[in-house]
Amino acid sequence: MIVIQSPDEWKEIRKTISDSGFVPTMGNLHAGHASLLTRAKKENAVSILSIFINPTQFNDKKDYERYPKTLANDLHIAEQCGVDYVFVPNKEDMYPDKAVYQIAENDISLLLEGKHRPGHFSGVLTIVMKLFSLIQPTRAYFGEKDYQQLQLVKGLVTAFFLDIEIIACPTVRQDNGLALSSRNTLLNAAELTLAAQLSNFLLSGLDEASIRTKLGDLGFEVEYIEKWQQRLLAAVKIGNIRLIDNIALTGESSCSCV
């Protein structure tokens, strides 16, 4: 496994690669990320991981500052998954323009997450475009937990004629149903037990208003529980920690691509 920090160094390596699978992350890797990395390794000649905590997608500066940073463990997980290259750039290299140039989507980015986190998706799409331009992968792998983000990335690829196949893979969960998330590490034991109730209520068959009420009674701060594109999506807070989840409303979720 080769770790690269410089975009220029990566550009030279990229010239030698013809078929690659790419998993962009903000680090603090868990079993969900590992499932993406394992699939990228299996389905491509070369597997590539990026680790970059992207400042432009945080509308809350404190959220950015407390985002878990676990690079040594991340590299260990990547090596266990057989990753070939890990790209770990710094903020100055990724934003030489100081984020003056950004990508905006003016439709679905204004809903749900976008409504509650103004500017979030511009930051996401901007860094994804930068990484796609640098890495130039054959395929890129995204989890369905960030379902709205996944749809926006698919739209980005289509809108800008990018020759990249987007592979969507199911959310990985703990035995109690809690969707794996880097932010879970910020919860204590009692909060983790409480967090598992989110997926239980999403799967309960109750209407959105009832789910909102029951979660509120348990101590969640509910931002939204909404149906969208045949899924039920939710965003909640436990204290200062924000969690999202979603479930398919028709049939089982499965990997798909465009």
pLDDT by residue (tens digit) across 191-224? 999 999 999 999 999 999 999 999 999 999 999 9
Q: Are the CB atoms for 113 and 120 separated by under 8 Å? A: yes
Distance CA 147, CA 156 (A): 14
User: Is the pLDDT at 255 greater than 50, yes or no?
Assistant: no
Write down the domain spans for the chain.
Answer: 2-169, 182-251
- Over residues 109-163, the pLDDT tens digits come to 999 999 999 999 999 999 999 999 999 999 999 999 999 999 999 999 999 999 9
Catalytic residue among 30, 33, 76, 116: 33
Confidence of residue 227 (pLDDT cuts 50, 70, 90): very high
State the pTM of this model. Answer: 0.94
**What pLDDT, in 10s, does the model give residues 94-116?**
999 999 999 999 999 999 999 99
**Banded pLDDT at 252 (limits 50, 70, 90):** very low
E strands, the chain, are 2-4, 20-25, 46-51, 85-87, 139-143, 165-169, 221-228, 231-238, 241-248, 256-257
pLDDT at 184 over 90: yes
Architecture of domain 2-169 in this structure: 3-Layer(aba) Sandwich (3.40)
Q: How does pLDDT run across 28-75, given as a tens digit for each residue?
A: 999 999 999 999 999 999 999 999 999 999 988 888 999 999 999 999
Determine the pLDDT at residue 23.
98
Active-site residue flag, 33: yes
- Spatial distance between the Cα atoms of 140 and 210, rounded to a whole number of angstroms: 37
Two tokens at 243? 């969690």
CATH number of this structure's domain 182-251, picked from the four choices 3.90.25.10, 3.30.1300.10, 3.30.360.10, 3.30.460.80: 3.30.1300.10
